[in-house]
Amino acid sequence: MNEWCLRSCLLAFRAKRRNFRLFFHGKTRDASVRAGLAYSFDMTKGFARHLQKTRWPAVSLGRVLVWVAVALSLTAGSVARAQVFTSSFVSAEATMPVQHGSSIIELDDGSLLVSWYAGSKEAAHDSRILVRHSAPGGVGWESTQIAVNPRECARESWFSNKAVGNTVLFQDKENIIWLFYAAVEFGGWSGAHVDYKISRDRGRTWSESHRLTNRLGDVPRSKPVELGLHEIFLPLSHSAFRKYSCGARLRISDGKLQAVNYFPLTGSNMSHPAFLSLNQDCILAHFRARGSGKLKSASFDTATNQWSEVRSLDLPNPDSAIDALRLDDGRVLLAYNNDAAVRNPLSLAISDDGIAFRKARDVENETSQDFSYPSLIRARDGTFYLTYTWHYRSAIKCVHFDAHWLGLNPVIVRR
């Protein structure tokens, strides 16, 4: 009886431990949780073996093992339901009144890099682009650095920039970081180009500025998607003379731009596209609704370079930027403002197909405040990071959360 109880209990413990590891995909960021679970299981097995050696009566042994199994089951269940949600201000060191247009990426070493622009006001002459690194694992922030100084001039231009704006970060397969940004030469955003810099040392130092688009009125916002080893598809908005969105197919190699082709999507009622790859031949785009209304969506066929018809989604948009990403299981996570008039609340929605969404949860919801321009990524461990403009462009905030906080099934992490 003793041996039967012991074997059954140990099998149950092993199954519980295996299920627990699968639930967390074999990895948890919290070292104390890992250590505590390992200690609990090791102590339990040791206690059971001790009981066997002492030859306790079968009834007593069975009762003890059952109670220990129940206690461990409850403990493991409560830990498994633990949620990850933390927040910090990336722009805490910045002293300028306006902080806006952020972008975030996870680098190849596991640290985070965030970029944004800061100035005395939007499109001000003193505006500059800042970057800030985290420690590996996204814990803590290093000192803020200037990546683009006020009045810089692209190598291909005769004129220095009057102002800078939205930023977009991207690390390619060669681990070169690309920083795309709006560079205003004349007037406001309708007089902007897209300039870029590269970094070969994870954003510690930056190259000189280069001109990507020569057309007036081009502005970036969301991250590009990869089409191949040396090709990316960058979302852009155009606001001079005609208003439209487009995708720029860039061929890149060794930090150099080899070729660029533009594929505009006709329609003045949308801007700031966010791209995600559905498969090798299809890019799904979601768009900000100009003048407010409903979010828009269209798909791009990379084989034919053709856009589909535009459709409206059943999600509101107060004329504000969005961001989206696709999970390994095919679901799409969208960051947006869940209101048709104001940029509040800042919310997250989930979809099985990228078209029909349901709201998952609010990230921010504070009366008479403004939260906008999200940048969303999924880290290698399956958790998420979201940066956005906080309180009417007064700061850049970063939140870190997991699928459990969102109320979703565990996110599959590919090995």
Q: What is the pLDDT of residue 291?
A: 85
Q: What is the pLDDT of residue 412?
A: 54
Q: What is the pLDDT of residue 63?
A: 54
Contact 201, 109 (CB under 8 A): no
Q: What is the pLDDT of residue 371?
A: 98
Residues 287 and 291: their CA atoms lie apart, in Å, by 12
pTM higher than the cut 0.85: no
- Fold designation for 85-406: Neuraminidase (2.120.10)
Residue 310: phi and psi, rounded to 5, are -85, 140
Walk along the chain (415 residues) in steps of 10 and give the mean pLDDT of each run.
43 41 40 42 47 47 47 46 89 93 97 97 95 90 97 94 97 98 93 97 98 95 96 95 93 97 92 95 96 93 97 96 96 97 97 96 97 97 97 97 88 50
Token pair belonging to 272: 């700031």
Q: What is the pLDDT of residue 66?
A: 44
Q: What is the pLDDT of residue 60?
A: 52
Q: What is the pLDDT of residue 304?
A: 97
Amino acid at 242: R
Which helix (H) or strand (E) covers residue 249, if one does? Answer: strand 244-253
226-249 per-position pLDDT tens digit: 999 999 999 999 988 888 999 999
58-82 per-position pLDDT tens digit: 445 455 444 544 444 444 444 445 7
Q: What is the pLDDT of residue 327?
A: 95
Residues 123 and 383: their CA atoms lie apart, in Å, by 34
- Measured between its terminal Cα atoms, the distance across the chain in Å is 43
Q: What is the pLDDT of residue 410?
A: 61
